[in-house]
Structure 1
Amino acid sequence: MKYSVVIVEDHILLSQALAGLVNGFSKFKILYLCKNGRELLTRLKDPKNIPDIVLMDINMPIMNGIETTIALKEEYPQVNVLALSVEEDEKTILKMLRAGAKGYLLKDTEKGILENALVEVQETGFYHTKDVTNLLLGSLNPKKENKVQLKEREMEFIKHACTEKTYKEIASDMCLSPKTIEGYRDSIFEKLHLKNRTGLVIYAIKNKIFIP
């Protein structure tokens, strides 16, 4: 059996081209195409239309990819979302990960990477390309990650950092001074070999400290 995929993309020619690519992959088949999130949610009301994976654009009219991903997480948690976008900025990627996307691809990705991403998302639960990861994190040493021992308060900080809260708001919630919170942040970045908050979110998701 092949895994079923739905493409949500408002550019029809691109959507059709992607469908042709995915149908050529040995493990996947296209179930149908949608132009926006609202159309997808309408079609999902029929149980026969629930796919294994949704290949999701972000910038769409009526209902965008972030809004749609949040709705899918609440109503159809069994459906895996793989974001496919031209957006490279850190905030957009963070929002999609927090919304529940299992992976993030740029639209100029190669065919082989797209196929591998679909496989990884379906069979392991997440996928991030090296390009996107490097763009956000700089470099990350997985071997050193596994040896790091985090204290309880550091874990608490990481969970707060995976939300939309500012560092000042985190300090208030943890009953600490902003300067102390900055110390936690800098210490954790050094321990985990991270360069920014996005890297911390990805680390937390991969290590199940934070579940979007």
Structure 2
Amino acid sequence: MMLRAAFVPPEEAVEQLRALGGRLAQLPGISAVGPGRVDVPIAGLGNVVEADASRFAGVLAECLSDIPPVAVRAAGVELAGEEVTVRLDGDVATLAAVARAVGTAAERVNVYIDRRGFRPAVVVGSVASTRPGSPLDRMLSGPGVLCGLAMEPWPVAEVALIRTRWFGGEARAETAYRIPFRAESFVGRDFRTAKASTPLE
């Protein structure tokens, strides 16, 4: 399965981020990302067989066993290469530590990992090109760019392993595993549902 790791915002935040992407897509040359990709990317894992994905989930849980849940919030909108992103602030140092743990877990089970640097940001759109004074440039520098994103800080308490499937030439994303922080308090946890099946005595 094609697998990637990401932090997925709660549904309310996803809807607000999708709405921002929709507003951006009204500008010439801008495309909103698909609804299944409104998240904070950590790393691509490539094509992983089911057994390796399961092993990776278990090892990652060990790596996250001493990391507490954190909270982040939208801090600004910016252009990063060909991507329009919502920059996050809050406990982003912990997010970076989790991203490193994802790399460590991949190495321990010999799973390929895309080694691009982690950025605490949600990609909401893409752009072919822009220049100073363009509609996008003016929108990003305007005071109302975060309109609709004045949300409360949202919690981050797990890593989602997201599978990409193809239907009729269209990519669809679905969460295959949920790896919660501090998962050491349970054994036999089903990481597909993130529910505990056997509590430790």
Q: TM above 0.5, one fold?
A: no
Greater relative contact order structure (CA < 8 Å, 6+ sep)? 2
Richer in strand (by share): 2
Richer in helix (by share): 1
TM-score (structure 1 length as normaliser): 0.22
